[in-house]
Chains A and B, each alone.
Chain A
Amino acid sequence: MHNSHDVQVPLGPQHPALKEPESFLITLRGEKITAINIKLGYNHRGIEKACEERTYTQDVYLIERICGICSHSHSTCFVQAVEEIASIDIGMRAKYIRTLIAELERVHSHLLWLGVAGHEIGFDTLLMYTWRDREVVMDLLATLTGNRVNYGINTIGGVRRDISKEQGKEILKGVDLLEERTKYYIKIATQETTIIKRLSGVGVLSKEDALRLGAVGPTARASGIKRDVRKDDPYAAYSELDFKVITDDHADVYGRTVVRVLELMESYKMIRQIIKNIPEGPISVKVPRKIPAGEALSRYEAPRGEDVHYVKANGTEKPERVKVRAPTLANIQSVAKMLEDRYLADMPIVIAAIDPCFSCTDRLISLRNYKSKNKKIVTWDKVRLAGINWYSKQGVDFTKLNKKFLIP
């Protein structure tokens, strides 16, 4: 495949099209993509390991910081797992509030995505408009929880803030405005010629491929797969809400856009139902500091797709193991398939169409010694030793520090 006409173009780790560091090394022949090499792992933060060192309550706040956009998704997913282990029923009011924040978060995430998609195809007006309207939902979230992104409303055993009747009215007002604006965006996204030219037929992922590659969320639903955790395995208050799972058969970026804008309308519908039907009751129950031994897997439909958390408890106040599978990890496999025989110009929008969140995805880092023959993986001990040696060469003496950390 590789010949002298091919050009290798690095998109990333630093590139204007990407909001987070990840590397796409693409091989081009003319404008056509012939090969693509995706490399993640620029943003490993060791959150899973850090969770094992902290108590459950501290973990809620740490987990919330996995993602800047779907922070509520991750924290809810985690607390659900912990509550399942401790077999706690948090009561309906808390569940409704969690669902309300979740849907508001979906609205702000999808509006953000619509703007990013517009920017990737050079249509900045859409970016400016959607991000302006996104302020409405961000302000709502700020009045409800005190924060615009990391809401901090979840706690093990319920939620931390109640919502008042006045806040409910404010939300309804905001939702009315947003619904009107969203109808306008649906019109733009489905009728504007240059947008359709850039979106339809781009990044096609057939239903079979989507199933085989394990796509989740709007990416899967745009390929005609009716898969939504909110319907399939209802959590929080979703079993009591009336909503449709939006699917589309275009199977391309256009379909993914349609799914997301129509999901916005479903979210508005759900928010109205929540405000109307929210039951009275306590917003949280008391949970012992020590969670009994056990394990649980929690599923959650984040704006980007299914989010999975696994928690193993050992009877202490710290978890034995926390495993996070962010939705982007499930979708990233399909990007290479979508980009087969496409043009360089389609690359940014196809990557953006899965709504990637790479720093949320990074759960692993492996160091390889590229000087050695078989590029062996360097073990933890050797990295430590190399670090200690490097610092002692700089004149930093570790012997004065706690002896047990030193490797002889």
Chain B
Amino acid sequence: MIKEIFQILIFPGVAFLFAFGLAAEFIDRKFCARFQNRIGPPWFQPFADFIKLLGKEDIVPGDADLTIFRLMPVFALTSSITAFFYIPLWGRQALFSFNGDVIVVLYLLTIPTLTYFLGGWYSRSVYSMIGAIRSLTQLFAYEVPLFLSILASALLADSWSLSGICGFYAKHPGYWVANLLGFGIALISLLGKLEKVPFDIPEAETEIVAGSFTEYSGRLLALFRVSIDIEMVVGASLLAAVFLPFALNVAPALGFIIYLAKVILIVIFIALARSLFARLRIDQMISLCWRVLAPLAFLQVLIDLFIKGAMR
């Protein structure tokens, strides 16, 4: 019992996730800065920002719906953290698992986007409302390719549980290579989910200030920021578990380092995309997702079905 509480609250649970989220934000910012020929922030900058925001005044717009406005950051944070417990990090077994937890994790990772929508919508500011609508529009574009590519991997593993998927790929090393196309699709979709460049349309600074978060300040903004960081780590962990399931049979310490390396690799990819691309327009983003990514994801499903047929 005490062991489980320790696992949930400290390691590899909330406290670890919090620290790793802020570290991931630092890595993202530092790498992006170096790519852009800047010096970049010191390592504690995300944490300092968090502390500073906690000390600031919470300002709630007069017209905003107080309950939803205050609840949404908490929802965003908790749903990302909950999703984390079902993802195998190192080794084959997640903290908790049951058959069908793939669906639950994907669902839990959708909730933060919904909270951005609701939080922005109930801020009752024009910029927030446009940002909120854009968040939701974007959600319908990237979710389908993301789901399809992850489900394709699950199809090959013949399991609806993330631990089961990892177990399959641990038993059949090398099979994950078949899902590399899906990995690419999922990476691009993850950029959309995390609202990072080139899909940072919902918070396009030069158009709608900060989108959904325009009216947020103080502790609520700090919670939102940290929940985005944690979502980044959880999303990267999910992709690492589903698409990069190698070196799972090593000692826990080494496995932990490999896990960190996988996640950091994905975070560096995010930073690279940020420094390489311009922001797309929402219509361009949707047509990219539906015309290119979704058919490719279907192709990935077909590939996995063929391999599965060949395995029999």
Contact = CB atoms under 8 A, between A and B. Distances in A.
Interface stretch (A118-126, A136-144, A317-325, A329-337): A118-126
B62 to A, nearest CB: 17
Interface stretch (B32-40, B47-55, B183-191, B259-267): B32-40
B283 A122 contact: no
B207 A347 contact: yes
B126 A8 contact: yes
B127 interface: yes
Interface in B205-233: 205-209
Nearest to B134: A31
A17 B207 contact: yes
Interface stretch (B14-22, B142-150, B166-174, B194-202): B194-202
Given A7-B130, A8-B126, A31-B283, A118 B278 contact: yes
B278 A123 contact: yes
Contacts of A245: none
A344 B206 CA distance: 10
Given A16-B205, A17-B206, A9 B278 contact: no
Given A9-B126, A9-B130, A194-B278, A16 B36 contact: no
Interface in B252-287: 274-284
A148 interface: no
Contact of B209 (A16, A122, A123, A132): A16
A348 B278 contact: no
A185 interface: no
Contacts of A383: none
B129 interface: yes
Contacts of B103: none
Nearest to A346: B281
Contact of B198 (A118, A122, A132, A348): A122
Given A194-B278, A345-B282, A125 B207 contact: no
Interface residues of A, number: 31
B204 interface: yes
Interface in A172-199: 192, 194-195, 197-198
Contact of A122 (B126, B197, B284): B197
Classify the secondary structure of A's interface with B.
Answer: helix
Q: Which residue of A192, A344, A346 has the most chain B CB atoms within 10 A of its CB atom? A: A344
Interface string A11-44: 0000111000000000010010000000000000
A192 B200 CA distance: 18
Nearest to A202: B281
A385 interface: no
A9 B283 contact: no
Contact of A31 (B36, B127, B198, B282): B282
Given A122-B198, A128-B37, A345-B207, A197 B126 contact: no
B278 A129 contact: no
A17 B210 CA distance: 11
Given A343-B283, A345-B281, A345-B282, 15 more contacts: A9-B127, A9-B130, A16-B205, A16-B206, A17-B206, A17-B207, A31-B283, A119-B206, A122-B278, A124-B36, A124-B275, A197-B281, A198-B279, A344-B207, A348-B206
Interface of A: 7-10, 15-17, 28, 31, 118-125, 128-129, 132, 192, 194-195, 197-198, 343-348
